[in-house]
Structure 1
Amino acid sequence: MFKLLLIEDDQTLFNEIKDRLMGWSYDVYGISDFSQVMQEFTSVKPDLVIIDIQLPKFDGFHWCRMIRSHSNVPILFLSSRDHPTDMVMSLQLGADDFIQKPFHFDVLIAKIQATLRRVYNYNHEQITLKTWQAATIDVEKSTVSSATGTVELTKNEMFILKKLIEQKNKIVSREELIKSLWDDERFVSDNTLTVNLNRLRKKLDELNLGQFIETKVGQGYMACEEAQT
């Protein structure tokens, strides 16, 4: 049974979501003290976090930053705020998706299922180490290492990089990446992929690798690597 941590201060909405999720056999936990979110996160050790933006004490962006500094657990934002910058901010901070209230419960379930399937299925693949541009890609640990150092990726970033290097020197379309990531592209905005790609490039820049993820305008993206001689 997957454990979900629902960081939501609206008790009525929390109880409604919890009841529905438990009907899908998820183990759902809440927050009793919103000044101690990280302590409760550490205690629960959830498989996925669902978090609102507007919370007592500190907002959801603060807690997303704190969680990301300790864990790569998948994070879904669930918020009534509808400004595009809220979604962009949440993704830049390392969230996996953003769902706007009011929402259809089937959409929430679909996103939870797709995220859990994506994260916890590919983590158990037999081959977890790959090489690209003289760097080592550790899929299980979500790290990229080179002579310059090591960077840690979120699950989405690693999934994108893995997908690109599996077809290195070939263009992978945006549509293929979106469908592979979220299973059903109807639930995903095009901007979500752009944010994840930009965030991945920024991290790879620390290893001088960002320039090797090329954008092919109107076609998609390509992980470039020269043939070894």
Structure 2
Amino acid sequence: MQKIMIVEDDPKISDHLKKHIEKYGYNVLAVTDFDHVMDEFYHIKPQLVLLDINLPSFDGYYWCRQIRKESVCPVIFISARIGEMDQVMALENGGDDYITKPFSAEIVMAKIRSQLRRAYGEYASKVEERVLENNGLKLFPERLELTFETKTVSLSKKESDIMESLMERYPRVAGREDLLEKLWDDQTYIDENTLNVNITRVRKKLQEIGLEGVVETVRGAGYRLHISWKENEE
């Protein structure tokens, strides 16, 4: 069952959308903690997000940018703002569509179905899916999934990018500068520990599928995959 996440701080609108969308067989989850939207996103792993612009603490543009760092799932803005620049801002910040309030629930459903078809269904790109493999470890960049033997773990976009670089460079070292350039457009504003934190997350994901000590730190250079499980078996 496909999951849809609603980020709307008006409880009446959120409840109305939730009940209507659920009639069509979708699993709908509405965010209530607007300070930790991304925590909810990681937990829910939705196939589509309905996102208001006017939200407490941070606006919808901000949250859409955060989502785009981790996922390419469709994001539909729903807002009372009717200005042309608001719609331009929504699209430039990563949105896929824009609906103005007041809205027809059936129009919302039509746009949801359209975006889901384009992303996952009959209108989705038919290009062959990329798979990177080293000694049984498989990375599916478009799915944001990593598998080994019978175990699979979901990755964030940055985690997937790191694994992609490590697997493409194997058995060579993936330099810190190269990883930072791949993950972020401007290295100047990146805290020194940011890459370390993401590497730690990658290591934890590998542990979840039964692989310990796979990402080796090469002092003064970067990181390298240390694929030894196959060698040990032989």
Q: TM-score, normalised by structure 2?
A: 0.54
Deviation at 1:128, TM superposition (A): 4.4
Deviation at 1:141, TM superposition (A): 3.1
Distance in 2 separating the partners of 1:120 and 1:43? 20
Distance in 2 separating the partners of 1:124 and 1:85? 30
2:126 paired residue number: 125
1:91 paired with 2:128, answer no
Distance in 2 separating the partners of 1:43 and 1:120? 20
Residue type of the alignment partner of 1:107? I
1:112 paired residue number: 112
Deviation at 1:124, TM superposition (A): 7.3
- In the alignment of these two chains, the number of paired residues is 135
Distance in 1 separating the partners of 2:32 and 2:84? 30
Gaps of at least 5 residues in structure 1 are 130-139, 143-151, 153-205, 207-229
2:61 paired residue number: 61
Contact 2:9/2:32, CA 8 A, preserved across alignment:
no
| Structure with greater contact order relative to length (CA < 8 Å, sep ≥ 6) | 1
Q: CA RMSD in A?
A: 2.4
Deviations 1:84-124 (A, max 9, x none): 11100110111110000111111111100010011102557
Deviation at 1:127, TM superposition (A): 3.3
Q: Against the structure 1 CA distance between its residues 89 and 124, is the aligned structure 2 distance closer, same or farther, given a 3 Å change threshold?
A: closer
Q: Against the structure 1 CA distance between its residues 126 and 71, is the aligned structure 2 distance closer, same or farther, given a 3 Å change threshold?
A: closer
1:38 paired residue number: 38
Deviations 1:41-65 (A, max 9, x none): 0000000000000001111001001
SS in 2 for 1:54: coil
SS in 1 for 2:70: coil
Q: TM-score, normalised by structure 1?
A: 0.55
Residue type of the alignment partner of 1:125? K
2:178 paired residue number: none
Residue type of the alignment partner of 2:17? I
Contact 2:7/2:30, CA 8 A, preserved across alignment:
yes
Distance in 2 separating the partners of 1:83 and 1:56? 21
Deviations 1:18-48 (A, max 9, x none): 0000001111111121100000100000000
SS in 2 for 1:24: coil
SS in 2 for 1:58: coil
What pairs with 1:139-218 in structure 2 (closer than 5 Å)? 141=142
Q: Which has the larger radius of gyration?
A: 2
